[in-house]
Structure 1
């Protein structure tokens, strides 16, 4: 009448009844709920960390962009300063060359004037000596002195 399958089924039902009576499903459900909560907390923490990392990444990208912009501005300003300094140096060099050219021209002009004056003085002295010699040989003393005095005063006026 009762075969072994029947007893196995009865044993299984008794085992299931004891398990239910002892609260094993609640314990399993509680453990699964606890594990589910732990997983959810880990997911929330991972999500928060990810959001925080994205914020930090965005902030650092902003800082990097800002630093790149600042470096570009610094390079641009440095190039402008180099251009300005170069232009000023070129202008100063041109002014120095022009000033030295004017000084050289003035020195040349002064040397020409001095040479001309020196030639005039030598010509005057030579003329004076020639006239003096000529007059002293060819004129009497009284007339020659008068002509000599006139010539000297004439030469002094011209110089």
Structure 2
């Protein structure tokens, strides 16, 4: 099989139009020779006008530009990775701060609830104490009023009883003694 492929490839090259041309090779009638001369002339013109060094410089310049762009792309990539890492770090810090703020807010809310409950209990205790004081005051006032009224009734009853049982001479003597006693206490 390999021999068949090799012979067919060689046979195709031997069957080319260049081998089909008849006559001498170095003739202007031979198309292969004319093409060869044209190609050599083209190469000579390129060398005469110094195109290969210019092409070399252009290719070198292009290669250098590509190399610079690659370096810049690498630098930009590294900078982007640095920025990404920085942003990820900042995002983690912000998330941690947010969690801390939420935790502190919860603690403060719980503390405020406990404080409000304590304040409410203290307020209720103060109001109960004030109500008890008012009740005690009203009770004391009522007791005083009852005592005063009882004393008034007792004095009136005693006056009536004394007025009925004492004589005019005894009354005068008692009034004089009372006046003397008050005078002694005032001086």
TM class, shorter-length: 0.7 to 0.9
Structure 2: 5+ residue stretches without partners: 1-23, 175-187
| Aligned-partner Cα distance in 2 for 1:48–1:126 | 113
* TM-superposed deviation, 1:134: 2.9
Structure 1: 5+ residue stretches without partners: 149-159
| Aligned-partner Cα distance in 2 for 1:140–1:12 | 173
Q: Tell me the equivalent position of 2:156.
A: 129
Alignment partner of 1:96 is 2:96: no
| Aligned-partner Cα distance in 2 for 1:85–1:47 | 55
Q: Tell me the equivalent position of 1:141.
A: 167
* 1:1-159 → structure 2 map (5 Å cutoff): 1=24, 2=27, 3-5=29-31, 6-20=33-47, 23-137=50-164, 139-141=165-167
Deviations 1:8-55 (A, max 9, x none): 323323433554566543433332232122111111111111111111
Q: Tell me the equivalent position of 1:156.
A: none
Which TM-score applies when normalising by structure 2? 0.63
| Aligned-partner Cα distance in 2 for 1:118–1:7 | 151
Structure with max Cα Rg:
2
Structure with greater helix percent:
1
* TM-superposed deviation, 1:108: 0.8
Deviations 1:114-146 (A, max 9, x none): 211221221232123223313432x3539x87x
C-alpha RMSD over aligned residues: 2.7
